[in-house]
Chain A
Amino acid sequence: MSTVLQIIEIVLPLLYLGLTGLYARNFFDQEHEKRTARTGLYGLLGAHLGYLTLLGVAQHAWPLASMAEFLSVLSVSLTITYAITERAEEDSNTGMFFLGIASIFQVFSSVLMEDITTKTHPLLLENPIYGIHVAFTVLGFAALAVGALDAVMYILLSRQLKSRELGLFFRRLPPLIRLETMSRIATLTGIALLGVGLGLGHFVAIYILEDYNLWDPKIVIMDAAWAAYFVGFVVVKLRGLSGIRMGYLSLAAYLGLMLMMILSNLLTSSFHSFQP
């Protein structure tokens, strides 16, 4: 089982990168048929979900015990979000962006993934509230990623329209207002989901963990990042910032959040190391 999982962990990021390449080719050259990419997308989703199931079965627990597993679940959540969008909108031009970021998450996941024979999972994962906390947190991160991606597309299209050099982004991307709306809805959804996820995390920590410290740097960093997101959104709403400024803000906030998450996991190993 361990060997099979290790092989999949090498193949999966390659499949993600290959599919991103396929979507990029379709984005730049519309002459290509789209069916191969769509089939590849569903194939990849099947493979990734199969991999997570296999991982869960092998360790007899939800595959959410480490940063690597968290990133892999984040990657598949983004891909599912994109697959639903592509089906609803009948438009595959945003695939390059969504799959690009999902690929990055999966590459990091595969690099950080430990061998299953040497890995143990926290007993905490058997607690249902803990599971809900993780699920909300992952979905929150995925929604914020979608918001940031829509913001990137908004910035690219807005800059082309402003400079009057109407190139590929003008031809391929959805209308500016739709990107702005999708980014706002995704960000708001992300803030709400992540808020619930963090709240449940506090609840689990207070009632289940014995050595819980509210001032643990990781908790402070994550709570501060969420609060910054929340306040930023309220300020944008109240002050009516322009679309492009909101786009930059959304992108910067997401990058900041990811950076804080990585730093807090790299620099401190106190609480929430994802290990028992």
Chain B
Amino acid sequence: MIEFENVALRYGPAGASAGSREVLRDLTLIVPQGSFRWLLGPSGAGKTTLMRLLGLSLRPTQGRLRVLGSDVSSASRGTLAALRRRIGVVYQDFRLLGHLSVYDNVALPLRIAGRPEGQIRADVLEMLRWVGLSGRSDARPNALSGGEQQRTAIARAVIARPTLLIADEPTGNLDETQAERLMALFKEMNRLGTTVIVATHNDAMVARHPAPALRLVDGRIHERRSAS
């Protein structure tokens, strides 16, 4: 479960209002475990910042945020690391490691989690087959197209079967067929118990896959059910 209680986030010097900018404010909401949410809103509304809060890259400057049962403000560094291993993130800019192959990029979360190499190999090859990158496993990210990089980033985010999956514009570089395939994967993971939050501008995609939506406007959130 994810629980926001009067959460605000301000960029800039800590504790100073002058020279800082409040990006998120008065966020109070609950996302139950195993649910699916769209995250909608215009550019600059704070979607990426909210994603970074959920990915534990940022800490709220005000209020309380609980992710997967832990209060992120008071959790120890070890607890936060363990929490991050249960969270899969698809970044808008992919954030692949350029000096590693596609295979090693996708295998990374499993290696960090200490899985046996034999199991890693089987899982990664299966995942690469699923996202259509079987023939590109030895390629470096800079040799991939935008769509291939996005699929690599998605494979890395889901390979460890996370409890929470957050994706920032995951279909931006994918064609319609690949985007639908990706949505099928997200929905299947959601059916198996993963909480999925997808930020997107793709209204057609949202319309095809109706689900409750969190709409961010000017740093504040409005929860609503998307149009079916």
A and B together in one complex: no
Q: Interface residues, chain B, CB within 8 Å of chain A? A: none
